A and B are shown apart, each in its own frame.
Chain A
Amino acid sequence: MSGFFVLATILLIYVVIFQIAKASEYVGVLKGEEVMRKQSNRINGFLLISFLVLGLVGVWYTNHLYAGKTLFAQGSASVEGERVDSMFMWTLAITGAVFFITQILLFWFAFKYQEKDGKKAVHFAHSNKLEAIWTAVPAIFMTILVVIGLRNWFHFTKEAPADAVVVEITGKQFNWIYRYPGKDKVLGKTYFKNISDKNNNPLGQIWEDKANYDDIIESSEMHIPVGVPCKLVINSRDVVHDVGLNHFRMKMDAVPGIPTTLWFTPKFTTRQMREKLNDPEFQYEISCDQMCGPGHFSMRGVIVVDEPTEYKIWLATKKPNYWTAFPEKDPTKQPPAAVDSTAKKTAEVKAADMKIVKK
């Protein structure tokens, strides 16, 4: 019923607007086209200048409402990100000035030079001097921005510092898998055809490569130490994803078959950020920023930035994935041989079951 009401109201509004429009056209025919045109010219001239004024107020008001909610209000959470922030402000200053100047001129000219009786337009077709000015001035400002931008760009994309903590992050529909290189500081080789979730090999680690023996795999959170450069090696298991690190001001695609990297130096631990923002639920969230399927919007990861000692302790509690994949190799368990073989049997039976179900 209410739906019907809404529909009827909308229809009514359409009809009323249409009748007014029709009527004003008849009035126009009666009054004469010239008179009508001049009248609407004045109205629209006035509306244009009002639009400018209200628009400028609107720009201010939007900024007033939402500037505080942007990430810039918090400041960058990474050392490198500070460059993004300052570059943003430079760009904002330049483009902001151009924005206000040109928009004001546009609407003001339109208002000021609206058609008036007895007035004639000037015939002014070109001026080399003016055109040279407004070719050169933008070119100069663009050069400034390019120089600032490229210096930062080469800084961001250069090889990560040698002391960086390395973490591998792999995207899959619709979550992230993190891998730490372990004591040897080398990420073992992987091959996608070895991937098997049920055999506890979600990244396809090649077990012939000994570098894999101490690699740690995590799927809930990524922990990294504060104040130390952190290098991410980024991979994907299926489609293109993107590691979006909003607070650190960075992002990088995860492309299957083509690893990418990104590095940054976190400035604040998660705990410090919670205090700083007075937000006890704050987390560094990883957003997937590249369309990756129907669950794209839910592909959330979390980075916990710890004090270096906390980080060491956390890492020490983790077991290499090798042990999960091959429990018999886990020195902390050392189960009796008999139990071991039963466990293996169960696993085999389970695998067989899976196959039947699949068929």
Chain B
Amino acid sequence: MSNEAVLHAPAGLVHEEHHGHHHHHESFITKYIFSQDHKMISKQFLFTGIVWAILGGLMSVLFRLQLGYPNETFPILEDLLGKWAKGGKIQPEFYYALVTMHGTVLVFFVLTAGLSGTFSNLLIPLQCGARDMASPFLNMLSYWFFFAASIVMISSFFIETGAASGGWTSYPPLSAIGDFSEGSKAGMDCWLISMALFIVSSLLGGLNYIATILNMRTKGLSMTKLPLTIWAFFFTAVLGVLSFPVLLSGAILLLFDRHLGTSFYLSDVFVSKTQTALPNEGGSAILYQHLFWFLGHPEVYIILLPAMGMASEIISTNSRKPIFGYMAMVGSLFAICILAFLVWAHHMFVTGLNPFLGAAFVLLTLLIAVPSAIKVFNWLTTLWKGNIRFTPAMLFAIGFVSLFISGGLTGIYLGNSALDYQLHDTYFVVAHFHIVMGVASMFGMFAGIYHWYPKMYGRYLNNTLGYIHFWVTICGAYLIFWPMHYQGLAGAPRRYYDISNWHFLKGFDGLNQFISTVALIVFATQILFVFNYFFSMFRGRKLKNPNPWGSNTLEWTTPINPGHGNWPGEIPEVHRWAYDYSKDGREYIPQTEPIGAGESGHH
């Protein structure tokens, strides 16, 4: 094994002594808190992401309780939440704060910071063969900005008027004027400040990822030899760097409108409560929507691409087959990345958008189906005639593909403006984006955690718990979100606290109860996973083989518990792409192995 060659090379050991800076004295604070080691920062992102995932999940359990059992009271909620659950019933203001925070937290804090932050940080240096990020210091700052954003967001729940409650999209004028809703008071300021901090975090991280991938690849590792994970993280970072600043400007203008009397988004607004017409004139509420969705749509790919990259890597490794159509996979990532910038207005078909403009957005939106289809067919062909090992990571990767198909197909309905004319903002949309973005990316993230946990901690997660986690979660995900399509087709609007007053929505009480019950079970199962995670950190089965999955990529050539600097000796040189599985009768050929004399041609 080549990694052993690296490990046991005497020169390497001597080297280590000399390069003392890899093991310079570290205090608890520099090692665990203000760490500049990409591996520790990645764990910090993951920890914080897990905490947020639990909170975000808990919020969905609470509001599902209201949706499933609108006529019941739960006195314990009043004990815990006070006025927000007066009489044991979640109040509308609080319901909307929960929905808003649930969306914001899961989209940005869990599936952007928690996903990209964790895996870009962990894998970019390891799979590119770098000692650390281009700028470890900015990398550390990136985490701490995220941490600050988290604190601000959390604190908004403890404000007297409650957290922001205008939906995760926070459209003005609702979000601009405190008189329109309690959540539009101080809670909205917290939301905006938190988002601004988060964007800074995201930019620092993204610039670092791009710089590292472009400049710090080891010898021999040309871009076309990169594993697909790295390509995915690269395009993700590009998307983030180019689109997050637009949201920042949108948020800042909103703050101006709120506090400095500007009229970027405001015009013709009358406040019934105080019977006053606001002085603002000439602004456009639609401008905010453009700024928001110019990030908002790329954002869904920021969430999805890392999951795609990791699923590609995991499916190939565990099928013991090269990923099918490597160049097509890279090309489709590239196409998705470009198109992601050109489709934002498909969220705005019914805002009175110019119909001709709408038509252009229909065309570009449905065009995304092509690279997406290529990816799906390539994954399927990768499985075909493989010799598949169902590790928990592999199951989650297969689940990812299944969910991506199911959720991606409903995008074709919503992207076609004439159909969106009916479906917009119904539960059909809730079903669509949860399956394709929410749950699918969660599956990508779980796959990544199960696959790279041994790299992070030198131990395995418990497999049985992993299997239980997978099976309950995939069944639960479909049971929760599949029937929601039908509610949407019956016209049920999203963000409805209670549907009992609507005649045309009668007949879904049983279904709503069922969904809420399943959501509760799925949530409980995630707790099991969290327990597995923390238990295995200390008590999990220890890794003996530094390359447990028989993988080709560079991260498995480091020692089992790599120190700061990753490789004790020289950084290994790369001679081939990452996917030489089952080639010339050998099950796998690591990237570090030189091309043999009699070896058949490169892919």
Contacts and interface: CB of A to CB of B under 8 A. Distances in A.
Interface of A: 3, 10, 14, 17-18, 20-22, 24-25, 28-29, 37, 40-41, 44-45, 47-48, 51, 55, 58-59, 62-63, 66-67, 69-72, 81, 83-84, 87-88, 91, 94-95, 98-99, 102-103, 105-107, 109-110, 113-116, 119-127, 130-131, 134-135, 138-139, 142, 145-146, 148-150, 152-154, 156-158, 172-173, 192-193, 195-198, 204, 237-240, 242, 244, 246-247, 249-253, 255-261, 281-283, 285, 287-298, 300
B504 interface: yes
Contacts of B422: 81, 84, 88, 246, 249-251
Contacts of B358: 153, 157
B51 interface: no
Q: Which 4 A-B pairs have the closest CB atoms?
A: A246-B491, A260-B352, A257-B267, A257-B268
A69 B387 contact: no
Contacts of A110: 383, 388, 390, 398
A239 B96 CA distance: 16
Contacts of A250: 421-422
B351 A103 contact: no
A42 B325 CA distance: 28
Nearest to B428: A70
B197 to A, nearest CB: 24
Given A14-B531, A70-B489, A297-B493, 14 more contacts: A18-B465, A40-B390, A45-B390, A62-B482, A106-B402, A120-B320, A120-B587, A131-B328, A172-B270, A172-B272, A246-B422, A256-B173, A257-B284, A291-B171
Given A99-B409, A192-B268, A149 B419 contact: yes
A116 B495 contact: no
**Which of A58, A119, A196, A296 lies at the interface centre, i.e. has the most chain B CB atoms within 10 A of its CB?**
A296
Nearest to B373: A138
20 contacts: A21-B462, A21-B532, A40-B463, A48-B395, A95-B410, A109-B383, A110-B383, A113-B385, A121-B387, A123-B581, A125-B579, A126-B326, A126-B603, A135-B370, A142-B369, A192-B277, A246-B422, A249-B421, A291-B167, A291-B171
B508 A142 contact: no
B34 interface: no
Contacts of B369: 138, 142
B426 interface: yes
**Which of B267, B322, B388, B507 lies at the interface centre, i.e. has the most chain A CB atoms within 10 A of its CB?**
B388
B252 interface: no
Contacts of B159: none
A120 to B, nearest CB: 6
Interface stretch (B107-115, B138-146, B234-242, B359-367): B359-367
Interface of B: 76, 92-93, 96, 165-167, 169, 171-174, 177, 180-182, 266-272, 275, 277, 281, 283-286, 319-328, 350-352, 355, 358-359, 362-363, 366-367, 369-370, 373-374, 376-381, 383-390, 395, 398, 401-402, 405-406, 409-410, 412-413, 416-419, 421-422, 424-426, 462-465, 467-468, 471, 474-475, 478-479, 482-483, 486-487, 489-491, 493, 495-499, 501-504, 507-508, 511, 524, 527-528, 531-532, 541, 579, 581-585, 587, 603
Contacts of A172: 270, 272
B272 A62 contact: no
Contact of B180 (A123, A238, A259, A290): A238
A297 B418 contact: no
B174 A255 contact: no
Contact of B502 (A116, A257, A285): A285
B117 to A, nearest CB: 29
A247 B416 contact: no
Contact of A121 (B171, B270, B271, B581): B581
Contacts of A59: 482
A345 B579 CA distance: 89
Contact of B283 (A123, A124, A244, A257): A257
**Which of A47, A237, A242, A294 lies at the interface centre, i.e. has the most chain B CB atoms within 10 A of its CB?**
A294
Nearest to A70: B489
A148 B275 CA distance: 47
A244 B428 CA distance: 14
A298 B462 contact: no
A84 B173 contact: no
Given A124-B385, A149-B362, A242-B350, A154 B355 contact: yes
Nearest to A14: B528
Contact of B388 (A113, A197, A292): A113
- Interface majority SS (helix, strand, loop, mixed), chain A: helix
A145 B504 CA distance: 29
B531 A103 contact: no
A287 B322 contact: no
Nearest to B387: A121
A294 B285 contact: no
Nearest to A139: B370
Contacts of A197: 272, 275
Contact of A258 (B284, B426, B501, B581): B284
Contacts of B483: 62, 66
B366 A84 contact: no
Contacts of A14: 527-528, 531
B68 to A, nearest CB: 15
B257 to A, nearest CB: 13
A59 B486 CA distance: 11
B467 A103 contact: no
B529 to A, nearest CB: 11
Nearest to B351: A253
A253 to B, nearest CB: 5
A139 B528 CA distance: 43
A87 B419 contact: yes
A21 to B, nearest CB: 4
Contacts of B269: 192, 237-239, 256-257
A71 B491 contact: yes
Contacts of B181: 293-294
A123 B582 contact: yes
A21 B285 contact: no
Nearest to B500: A297
B503 A25 contact: no
A197 B272 CA distance: 8
A87 B418 contact: yes
Contact of A297 (B174, B479, B497): B497
B471 A135 contact: no
Contact of A25 (B417, B495, B541, B584): B541
Contacts of B504: 71, 246-247, 283, 285
Given A22-B462, A69-B507, A192-B270, A156 B582 contact: no
A219 to B, nearest CB: 13
B402 A103 contact: yes
B168 to A, nearest CB: 10
A106 B362 contact: no
A39 to B, nearest CB: 11
B390 A44 contact: yes
A48 to B, nearest CB: 7
Nearest to B464: A21
Contacts of B92: 294-295, 297
B223 to A, nearest CB: 17
A114 B388 contact: yes
Contacts of B462: 21-22, 25
A289 to B, nearest CB: 4
Nearest to B355: A157
A146 B416 contact: yes
Contacts of B377: 102, 130, 134
Contacts of B93: 294
A211 B395 CA distance: 68
Given A70-B486, A122-B385, A134-B374, A25 B405 contact: no
A295 B583 CA distance: 63
A298 B387 contact: no
A72 B486 CA distance: 10
A287 B491 contact: yes
A153 B417 contact: yes
